[in-house]
Amino acid sequence: MSKRILVSVALLALLSVGTTIDVRAEMAASDVEEALTCQCGCGLTVHSCNHLECSFAVPTRKNIAESLARGETGEQIIDRYKLKYGEKVLSSPLPRGFNLLAWVAPYAGIFIIGTLMLLRFRRRSRQRTLEPPDETDGLQSSSPSSPELDRWRTQLQEEIEELKR
Amino acid sequence: MITIGNLALYLALATSLYAVVASIYAAQAHRGEFVTSGERAAYATWGLISITTIVMLHALVTNDFSIKYVAAYTSTTLPVRFRLTALWGGMEGSLLFWTLILTTLTSLALFQNRCRNRELMPYVTATAATVTAFFVSLLVFLIPPFALLKFPPAEGTDLNPLLQNYWMQIHPPALYLGYVSWTIPFGFAIGALATGRLDDLWIRTSRRWCLMAWFFLSLGNLFGARWAYEVLGWGGYWAWDPVENAAFMPLLTGTAYLHSVMIQERKDMLKVWNMTLIILTFALTIFGTFLTRSGVISSVHSFTQSGLGPYFLTFLAFVLLISFGLVAFRIRELRPRHQLDSLLSRESAFLFNNLLFVGIAFATLWGTIFPVLSEWVRGVKITVGPPFFNRVNGPLAVALLLLMGIGPIIAWRRATFRNLVDNFVVPTALGLAVGTAGFACGMRSLSAILVVSFSAFVLYTIAAEFHSGARARGAMLQESYMSAILGLMRKNQRRYGGYVIHVGVVFMFLGVTMSSIYRTEELHTVKKGEQFTIDRYTLKYMDSENKEDSHMAQLIATLDVYENGKQITTLHPEKRFYKRPEQPATEVDMRSTMRDDLYVVLGSIDDQGVATFQAYVNPLVWWLWFGGVVLVIGTAIAAFPSKAATLHERARVTSTIRR
C-alpha cells in the first residue's frame, strides 16, 4: 500500500513540477519584461510597473522590443541587464550556485517531511502488527481480514462519527 | 489632553506588567484572589489604552500639530474620515491601534471565560499581558505617540495619498484583527502546556477565536488585494511583496491548524503538530509585524519602517524559546493515543493538506528572507520577486486544490477499493471532461487546465456531500429538499460551513488562475474622438476635465465603452495630484462582470489633449472577490453559535461544576 502511495505522491509531484516548467521555443517581450525587476522602487517587474511614465520600465520595455526585433534573444537581453545592474535586476534568482538553494529548499523541505511522515507511519504499522491487540479498542483491535469487513467497519465508524455530531 | 494620553500609556505598562506577574504567581501558588487581580489588571490595561487611543484620535481630528505624529500624517485639508484612519497610517499610531485591539480581545476572552476554564485562565491572562506589555513598552520607551514638536507647523505633511482610499479604511483593521486574534488561542495553548491539561479542552475553547482570527486574516488579505487592484493601477492584486507575504504566512499555518485540529478532536492524534502550528502561527504574526516595521527587507509598504527590528526579533526569540521549551517539557504527555490506520484515509489526506500548507508557508518565508541570506552569505543583492513565488507555490497550491476535493469523500481510517470506486469515479470523470473541454476551447496552459479540472472535481464532491446528506435527511424526517439542506447545515455547522468556505476558495482559485494567465493588456495614445480596441471592447476617448480643490487636483478622462457596436458603459479613469505631500496617484476605473473586468488606467493627457491609456481585460477576476463573499458566508455558518451547540456547552459546563 505504501508503495502505491509513494508512486501516487511521486506522480503528483511530477504533475506539479510540470506546471512550473515553461516550455518555450523563444521568449516573448512580456517574458523578458517579467524576468526583470523595475528599478524605480515600485517592487514590481518591468512588465507590471504601475508608473506609466516610469523612467526605468518605459525605456526598458522599448529596448526589449527593439532588441528582440533586431534578433537578440531574450536570454541575451537579460544577461545584458544583469551585467549593467547586477543580479538585483533579475526578478527571480538564477538556479545556479548558491541561488539554486532558493529553488530547491522548499521542495526539499516538503520531500523530507513527507518522507519522514511515511517512514514513521511504516514503523508504527510494523510495531502494531507485532503488538497484541488492544482489548479496549474493539474497532481497532479486531484484525482486519477482508475488504468487505473493512468496508463495514469504515461505514460503522462514519455512522458513529455522524451520530456524535 | 496629551498629558492624559501619556499618563494612561505609562499606567497601561504598569498594569500589563502587574497582570503578567500576578497571573503567573496565582497559577503557581494557587491563589484565586491573584487570578482575579491579574484579570482586573488586564481589564484596566484595556481601559487605559482606550483612553490613550481616544486622546490620539482627538488630536488627529482637531489637527493638533504640536504632536509630531499628527503633523506627519494629517493636514487641515484631509477629510475627517481619513484623519481618523491616520491612526494606522504611521508607526506609532498603528502600534497603538494594535495594542487597543489586543487589549480589547483579551478583555473579551477573559469575560467570556469568567466562569469556566479557570485553571487555564491565569496563563491566558499572563500570555496576552506579556504581549501587551511588549507593545506598550515600545510605545513608552522607543516610539512615543505623543512626542511633541518644538515648533509646531501651521500645516501638516498629510497622509500618504495611497492610503486615502476606502479599502485602506478597512484593510488594516481587518488585518490587525486577524493578526492579533491569534494571541488568544496561543494563550490557551500556553495554558494547556503549562497546566498539563493537554486534552482537547483548550482547542474547543479557542475554536471560535481561531476561526475569527483566520476569518479576519483572510479578509485583511483580500481587502489588501482589492486595494492594490483599485489603487496601484497595474491590473494585478498580489505582488508577493514581503509585507503581503508576512500577512499570507500566518494565514497558511492557521489554515493548516484549523484542518489538523479536527484530527486531534476526533482521533486524539497530532497533538505536538497542533501545538507547533499554533505557536508558529502566532510567531509568524510577530514576524510579520517585524517585517513591516524593521526595514530589513525592502518593501513598497515602507511607510511604517523604523529601527524596531532588533526588539521584535528578540521578542520573537523569547516567544519561540518559551513555547517550544514548554512543548519539550510536555512531550511525553503529548504523545498520541491513536495512530494513522492507513495512508489511504481522510486522516492521511488532512496530513498531506497540512504538509502542503506548511510547505507553501515555508516557501514564502524562504523566498522573503532569501535576499537577506544572499547578501549575508555572498555579499550580493538579489531580488526574489513574483515569478519565483508563482513558480514555487503554484504547483503546491494546485495540489492543495486537488486534496480539497479528495478530503471530503475519502473514508476515515481506511479507504477500501470499493470506497474509492464509489466516491471517486464520477468526480474524476467530470474533472477530466471539464479539462478536456477547456483544452478543446483553446486553453493551452497546463496550470489553467489543471485548475479548471480540479475545481470541477472539488465542486462536484461538495455538491454530492450536500445532496446525499439532504436526501438521507429528507427521507428520514420527511422534509423537503431545501429544508433538509438547511437542517443539515444547522445540525453540523462546522462541516457544512467548511464546505461553503471550500466553494469560496475554489472560486478564488479560478479567479486568480484565469486572470493571471489570460490577462490582455494594451497601451494606447489617442486624441479626443479617437478609439482603440482591447479584446472585445472598443473604447472611445470622449473628453477630459480638470478639477481642483485645496487638497488635490484631478484630471479626469471620459471614455465610452462599446461591445459589439453597442455602448455598454462610460468610464472615468483619473490622475490625481495631491498637494501635501506633492505626489501623483492613479484612480483606475473599471467595468466588472462575471466574465471579465475591463480595467482602464489614465497615464497622461498632454496640452493638445492627447491621452495615454493602459487598458487591461482580466478574465474571471470577479470570482476572486465573489469567492471572498462566499468565504464570509461559510465562516458565518461555521462559527455562528447554534442552539444545539449552546445547549451542549451548557451541559458540559454544568457537569464540570457539579463534579
Q: What is the CATH number of the domain that holds B141?
A: 1.20.120
Task: Output b/e per residue, B579-597; b: 16+ Cβ within 10 A.
Answer: bbeeebbbbbbbbeeeebb
**Domain check: are A70 and A88 in the same one?**
yes
Number of domains within chain B: 2
Does residue A11 form part of some domain?
no
Question: B435 with B452: CB under 8 angstroms?
Answer: yes
Does residue B282 form part of some domain?
no
Question: B527 with B511: CB under 8 angstroms?
Answer: no
Considering only CB atoms, which chain A residues are within 8 Å of B399?
12, 15-16
Mean predicted lDDT score pLDDT of chain B: 90
**Domain check: are A75 and A53 in the same one?**
yes
Question: Can you give the pLDDT at residue A42?
Answer: 81
Q: Report the gap between the CA of A13 and the closest CA in chain B (Å).
A: 8
Inter-chain residue contact A106 with B362, CB threshold 8 Å: yes
Portion of chain B with pLDDT greater than 90, in percent: 66
Backbone angles phi, psi at B594, to 5 degrees: -65, -30
**Domain check: are A110 and A64 in the same one?**
no
Higher pLDDT pick, B379 / A139:
B379
Domain ends where: B158, B184, B215?
Answer: B158
pTM for this one? Answer: 0.88
Higher pLDDT pick, B160 / A112:
A112
| pLDDT beyond 90 at B479 | no
Residue B286 CB partners (closer than 8 Å, separation 6+): B312, B315, B316, B319
- DSSP state string for B377-434: HHS------HHHHHHHHHHHHHHHHHHHHHHHHSPSS---HHHHHHHHHHHHHHHHHH
| pLDDT beyond 60 at A7 | no
Does residue A111 form part of some domain?
yes
**Domain check: are A38 and A87 in the same one?**
yes
Considering only CB atoms, which chain B residues are within 8 Å of A42?
300
* Domain boundaries, position B552: 524-622
Q: Is A29 on the interface with B (CB under 8 A)?
A: no
Residue B40 CB partners (closer than 8 Å, separation 6+): none
List, in sequence order, every residue forming a beta bridge with B557; answer none if it has no partner. B544
* Domain boundaries, position A152: 138-165
The string of pLDDT tens digits covering residues B60-104 is: 999 999 999 999 999 998 999 999 999 998 889 999 999 999 999
How does DSSP classify residue B330?
T
Distance CA B67, CA B3 (A): 12
The string of pLDDT tens digits covering residues B401-458 is: 999 999 888 888 787 888 888 888 999 999 999 999 999 999 999 999 999 999 999 9
Inter-chain residue contact B359 with A110, CB threshold 8 Å: yes
Residue owning grid cell 482603440:
B532
Range of A157-161, B436-440, B481-485 with top mean pLDDT: B436-440
Output the domain CATH number for residue A66: 1.10.8.640
Residue B121 CB partners (closer than 8 Å, separation 6+): B35, B39, B110, B113, B191
- A100-130 and B386-409 helices cross at what angle (nearest 10)? 20
**Domain check: are A114 and A152 in the same one?**
no
| pLDDT beyond 80 at A35 | yes
Q: Please state, as a whole number, how many other Cβ atoms lie within 10 Å of the Cβ of residue A87.
A: 16
Q: Please state, as a whole number, how many other Cβ atoms lie within 10 Å of the Cβ of residue A127.
A: 10
Name the grid cell of B132.
501587551
Portion of chain B with pLDDT greater than 70, in percent: 95
Name the grid cell of B428.
474524476
| pLDDT beyond 50 at A18 | no
**Domain check: are A55 and A86 in the same one?**
yes
The string of pLDDT tens digits covering residues A98-119 is: 999 999 999 999 999 888 888 8
Mean pLDDT of the region B271-282: 94
The pairs formed by A148-152 with CB atoms below 8 angstroms and a separation of 24 or more are: A150/B414, A150/B416, A151/B416, A151/B418, A151/B419
How does DSSP classify residue A56?
T
The string of pLDDT tens digits covering residues A49-67 is: 877 778 899 899 999 999 9
- DSSP state string for B562-615: EETTEEEEEE--EEEEETTTTEEEEE-EEEE-SSEEEEEEEEEE-TT--EEEEE
A131 residue type, one letter:
E
Radius of gyration of chain A (CA): 27
**Domain check: are A82 and A121 in the same one?**
no
Considering only CB atoms, which chain B residues are within 8 Å of A158?
411-412
**Domain check: are A121 and A146 in the same one?**
no
Does residue B50 form part of some domain?
yes
B551 falls in which pLDDT band (50, 70, 90)?
A: confident
Backbone angles phi, psi at B621, to 5 degrees: -65, -25
**Domain check: are A33 and A71 in the same one?**
yes
A163 falls in which pLDDT band (50, 70, 90)?
A: low
The string of pLDDT tens digits covering residues A65-101 is: 999 999 999 999 999 999 999 999 999 998 888 999 9
List, in sequence order, every residue forming a beta bridge with B154; answer none if it has no partner. none
* The Cα angle at residue B65 between residues B60 and B66, in degrees rounded to 5: 120
The string of pLDDT tens digits covering residues B557-595 is: 999 999 988 999 999 999 888 887 788 888 899 999 999
Does residue B118 form part of some domain?
yes
Q: Is B87 on the interface with A (CB under 8 A)?
A: no
| pLDDT beyond 50 at A135 | no
Nearest partner of B588 among B603, B607, B609, judged by Cα: B603
- Integer CA distances (angstroms), B434 to B207, B343, B351, B429, B459, in order: 37, 28, 28, 9, 12
Residue B571 CB partners (closer than 8 Å, separation 6+): B539, B558, B559, B561, B589, B590, B591, B598, B600
Inter-chain residue contact B355 with A99, CB threshold 8 Å: no
Question: B541 with B527: CB under 8 angstroms?
Answer: yes
Considering only CB atoms, which chain A residues are within 8 Å of B363?
106
Does residue A5 form part of some domain?
no
Q: Is A39 on the interface with B (CB under 8 A)?
A: no
Residue B561 CB partners (closer than 8 Å, separation 6+): B537, B538, B539, B540, B567, B568, B569, B570, B571, B591, B598
Considering only CB atoms, which chain A residues are within 8 Å of B238?
none
| pLDDT beyond 90 at B644 | no
Backbone angles phi, psi at B152, to 5 degrees: -60, 135
Question: Can you give the pLDDT at residue B233?
Answer: 82
Does residue B67 form part of some domain?
yes
Question: Can you give the pLDDT at residue B490?
Answer: 87
Task: Output b/e per residue, B20-41; b: 16+ Cβ within 10 A.
Answer: bebbbbbbeeeeeebbebbbbb
Question: Can you give the pLDDT at residue B581?
Answer: 75
**Domain check: are A33 and A87 in the same one?**
yes
- Integer CA distances (angstroms), B72 to B6, B100, B106, B305, B442, in order: 19, 21, 31, 14, 53
Number of domains within chain A: 3
Question: Can you give the pLDDT at residue A19?
Answer: 46
Question: Can you give the pLDDT at residue B395?
Answer: 94
- DSSP state string for A89-132: GBSS--SSGGGHHHHHHHHHHHHHHHHHHHHHHHHHHHHHHHSP
Q: Report the gap between the CA of B371 and the closest CA in chain A (Å).
A: 9
Does residue A20 form part of some domain?
no
Cis peptide before B581 (omega within 30 of 0): yes
- DSSP state string for B335-362: --SS----SSSHHHHHHHHHHHHHHHHH
Does residue A3 form part of some domain?
no
Distance CA B430, CA B162 (A): 45
Question: Can you give the pLDDT at residue A136?
Answer: 45
Q: Is A145 helix (H, G, I), strand (E, B) or coil?
A: coil
Q: Is A48 on the interface with B (CB under 8 A)?
A: yes
**Domain check: are A31 and A88 in the same one?**
yes
Q: Is A85 helix (H, G, I), strand (E, B) or coil?
A: helix
Does residue B21 form part of some domain?
yes
Q: Report the gap between the CA of B367 and the closest CA in chain A (Å).
A: 7
Question: Can you give the pLDDT at residue B427?
Answer: 93
Distance CA B280, CA B276 (A): 6
Does residue A45 form part of some domain?
yes
Distance CA B96, CA B180 (A): 13
The pairs formed by B135-141 with CB atoms below 8 angstroms and a separation of 24 or more are: B135/B95, B135/B98, B135/B99, B135/B102, B136/B9, B136/B12, B136/B13, B136/B16, B136/B45, B136/B49, B136/B99, B137/B13, B138/B95, B138/B308, B138/B311, B139/B9, B139/B92, B139/B95, B139/B96, B139/B99, B140/B9, B140/B10, B140/B13
**Domain check: are A83 and A40 in the same one?**
yes
| pLDDT beyond 60 at A141 | no
Name the grid cell of A137.
479498542
Inter-chain residue contact A86 with B412, CB threshold 8 Å: no
Question: Can you give the pLDDT at residue A130?
Answer: 64
Q: Is B583 on the interface with A (CB under 8 A)?
A: no
| pLDDT beyond 80 at B109 | yes
Question: Can you give the pLDDT at residue B343?
Answer: 80
Inter-chain residue contact B298 with A43, CB threshold 8 Å: yes
Q: Is A165 on the interface with B (CB under 8 A)?
A: yes
CB pairs under 8 A between A and B: 169
Higher pLDDT pick, B371 / B656:
B371
Nearest neighbour of B377 by CB, restricted to A17, A92, A98: A98
Mean pLDDT of the region B321-350: 87
Residue B116 CB partners (closer than 8 Å, separation 6+): B205, B653, B656
Distance CA B345, CA B426 (A): 19
Inter-chain residue contact B385 with A1, CB threshold 8 Å: no
| pLDDT beyond 60 at B657 | no
Question: Can you give the pLDDT at residue B586?
Answer: 85
